[in-house]
Amino acid sequence: MTQTFESDRAWTLLRQARAYLTGHFALTTGRHSDQFFLLARLTERPDWLYPWAKELAGRLTPYRPAIVVGPAMGGIIPAFAVAAQWPGTRMLFAEKEGGAMRFKRGFQIEPGEPVIVVEDAVTTGGSVAQVIEAVEGLGGQVRAVGALVDRSQGSLAFSAPFEAVLRAPNIPAWEPHECPLCRQGVPLTRPKQ
């Protein structure tokens, strides 16, 4: 694992919060893995989330946004916590609708307004890419992307710089038909249900 954000402390907090699990999991992307980040367990404790948000905001400060956007559901609380580090910064969230991310609830982004997208964990970056598209569709300018955990294996290609508090590039994610745990008959779990 890459050493960032006092890596030992980060892993300790994840385990303590039961936000890092081992087993056989169906990821949101449809892939399978033997490790899962259930970061809702970390975000339920503001005292545990605060150092992560402060660290991520510090890394994103050079891109100073007017708005921080998080994809629903997992990105809402981290985006809020990061936005709170910069007084006067707005926080919005995008929601899935018709296979794409959309802004509802009267949320507005002005043309040219600087935006940072914040997610809890990134594997393929699909949700983030959809949020970037939604922001740009309203004329906003995505200056950077941030995540609490990057488990992408370095395969992300965002149109903006990417920062993560903890990088975990060696965690496997298999297509279901390639999953060795399925072949072994290990029961599949969906921790977000």
Is there a binding annotation on residue 26? no
Is there a binding annotation on residue 37? yes
Is there a binding annotation on residue 149? no
Is there a binding annotation on residue 162? no
Is there a binding annotation on residue 151? yes
- Give the DSSP per-residue string, 134-188: HHHHTT-EEEEEEEEEE-STT----SS-EEEEEE-TT---B-GGG-HHHHTTPPP
Contact yes or no for 33/124 (Cβ under 8 A): no
Is there a binding annotation on residue 159? no
Cα 40 from Cα 86, distance rounded (Å): 23
Is there a binding annotation on residue 123? yes
In DSSP terms, 110 is beta-bridged to: none
Look at the block and give the residue holding tokens 């400060």: 61
The encoded tokens of residue 124 equal: 């393929």
Give the CA distances from residue 42 to residues 13, 132, 192, in Å, rounded to whole numbers and listed in that order. 8, 25, 13
Is there a binding annotation on residue 107? no
Is there a binding annotation on residue 186? no
Is there a binding annotation on residue 31? no
The encoded tokens of residue 5 equal: 């954000």
Is there a binding annotation on residue 113? no
- For the annotated binding site for orotate, the residues are 36-37, 123, 151
Give the residue ranges of the annotated binding site. Answer: 36-37, 96, 119-127, 151
The binding site for 5-phospho-alpha-D-ribose 1-diphosphate consists of 96, 119-127
